[in-house]
Amino acid sequence: MFEIPTSTKQHDESRQGEALLIENDPQKSNGRKLYIESYGCQMNFSDSEIVASILLDKGFETTRDYREADVIFINTCSIRENAEQRVRNRLKEFESAKAKNPGMVVGVLGCMAERLKSKFLEEEKLVDVVVGPDAYRDLPNLIEQVDEGSRAVNVLLSREETYADISPVRLNTNGVTAFISIMRGCDNMCSFCVVPFTRGRERSRDPQSIVKEAQNLFHAGYREVTLLGQNVDSYKYTAAVADGEEAGPTITFANLLELVAQVNPLLRVRFSTSHPKDITNDVLYTMAKYENICKYIHLPVQSGNSRVLQLMNRTYDRAWYMERINAIRSIIPNCGISTDVITGFCSETEEEHQETISMMDYVKYDYAYMFAYSERPGTLAAKRYADDVPEEVKKRRLTEVVDRQRRHSLERLQTYVGKTHKVLIEGFSKRSDKDYCGRNDQNAMVVFPVDERYKVGDYVNVFTDKCTSATLIGVISS
């Protein structure tokens, strides 16, 4: 896979591994230290918070230095080839630390764990533990097996597991924004994607536990939650009933979105990711109804050509996608929209690539995640289609897509200049502790000078008078 870094990628779903740390409770300590490093999508980072909760309950402490850890876990991503290669390189670095501390336990969690379990355990012998996304409750037992001299594995997928009863430990938190996982797995069989095979079938978490988690976060000082799912629009929950009782109402994503928005008007609500075949007008009208639901939708297009979309098994065509964009623009005129684009999918022609470019011109996305097609073993595309677009063509098409998106991202930011935006202060700017940063409703990053009247976690009105290619710049207005 080829990836061109670009400022249009506001939230890099293939970002480098991030070590996660929380405040430890010495009274629960078992004397062993835990190091967790996460790669990939927001779901992986959310899962790491579940893992930390399970193990801290067993007395583990966290550390930011893997060399002093007794247990190292790397939470992995299998979406793209370069993510897998980064994980392999990192595991080799852990080998030297393990050589100095033979009792150290090294494990792989997540999507790569499920897909490459035999390679990790038997062929390459890089790890002691391999655990899939639905088996995190088994981690204490698996670590115990390794302590007794065995390698341990559990990659069984579940049709029920949602971890709804586990309160995630917020790792490396800014105390302002947090993820809430509302569902797991995916029933969409996009031909390029490994997620249905690594995360299993779709199942939705009960809405009461989601609302309670949002309430707890708000009372703890958090002011923004992001509802997470592979396809949030297909969220659907009907409570189980006893024999002879009638089933209660089915809660859709639009219903859930409203329930979370009603927790408190000061709690901002975001969500990711939407699917063009499932996003309904009900969701859009709910977004328009509540001021605290951010006016931003991530709506992956992947390709602008109907034939390629059919090969991808996306279950919508170009016209359907454009109709959904029109609905968003009509119901939420000020909505920010981002997307995913894959260039060079199997048999894609130059004319079909140009249809993707023309789709980008039609929508003018605020930002995008853009990648050249990378065949993933075990996917439907790998089984059915030849990966026949030359790599140099993939690279060139990707460059064209990135260049077009850079232009659109700047155009979109320029439409926000000269306006006042409600911004949640998330922290200090990366470049200077004299500036705050936060996002507006449309998910654009805003940087503005520190004002001692306001602190992290406060809402402020910021008048933006200029922008860079990726950031709005302004001052707090009274």
In order, the DSSP letters of 65-107 are -GGG-SEEEEEE--SSHHHHHHHHHHHHHHHHHHHH-TT-EEE
Q: Is residue 23 part of a domain?
A: yes
The CATH number of the domain holding residue 135 is: 3.40.50.12160
189 and 309, same structural domain? yes
Adjacent-strand bridge partners of 462: 421, 476
Of the candidates 120, 154, 188, which is a domain's last residue? 154
Q: Residue 67 is part of which domain span?
A: 18-154
433 and 306, same structural domain? no
322 and 281, same structural domain? yes
- pLDDT band with cut points at 50, 70 and 90 for residue 14: very low
Q: Is 193 annotated as a binding residue?
A: yes
Rounded to two decimals, the pTM is: 0.86
214 and 337, same structural domain? yes
Q: Is residue 2 part of a domain?
A: no
Higher model confidence: residue 9 or residue 188?
Answer: 188
Contacts of 66 (CB under 8 A, 6+ apart): 19, 35, 37, 72, 94, 97
Q: Is residue 163 part of a domain?
A: no
Q: Is 437 annotated as a binding residue?
A: no
Q: Is residue 9 part of a domain?
A: no
322 and 447, same structural domain? no
Separation between Cα atoms, residue 146 and residue 150, nearest integer Å? 5
**Taking residues 375-395, what's their average pLDDT?**
95
- pLDDT band with cut points at 50, 70 and 90 for residue 197: confident
Backbone phi, psi, residue 48, to 5°: -60, -30
Of the candidates 154, 185, 219, which is a domain's last residue? 154
90 and 64, same structural domain? yes
Question: Which residue, among 391, 243, 402, 272, has the nearest Cα to 337 in the 3D structure?
Answer: 272
Q: Is 467 annotated as a binding residue?
A: no
The CATH number of the domain holding residue 431 is: 2.40.50.140
Q: Is residue 169 part of a domain?
A: no
391 and 242, same structural domain? yes
Residue 332, pLDDT score = 98
Number of domains making up the chain: 3
76 and 219, same structural domain? no
215 and 360, same structural domain? yes
431 and 353, same structural domain? no
Higher model confidence: residue 175 or residue 15?
Answer: 175
**Taking residues 363-367, what's their average pLDDT?**
97
Residue 293 DSSP code: B
Residue 172, pLDDT score = 64
Separation between Cα atoms, residue 1 and residue 77, nearest integer Å? 14
385 and 336, same structural domain? yes
Task: Report the percent of the chain where pLDDT is more than 90.
Answer: 65
Q: Is residue 80 part of a domain?
A: yes
315 and 443, same structural domain? no
**Taking residues 143-155, what's their average pLDDT?**
91
Residue 41, pLDDT score = 76
Of the candidates 392, 414, 436, which is a domain's last residue? 414
Instruction: Judge contact between 308 and 350, C-beta under 8 A.
Output: no
Q: Is residue 393 part of a domain?
A: yes
Q: Is 77 annotated as a binding residue?
A: yes
Q: Is residue 166 part of a domain?
A: no
Higher model confidence: residue 176 or residue 8?
Answer: 176
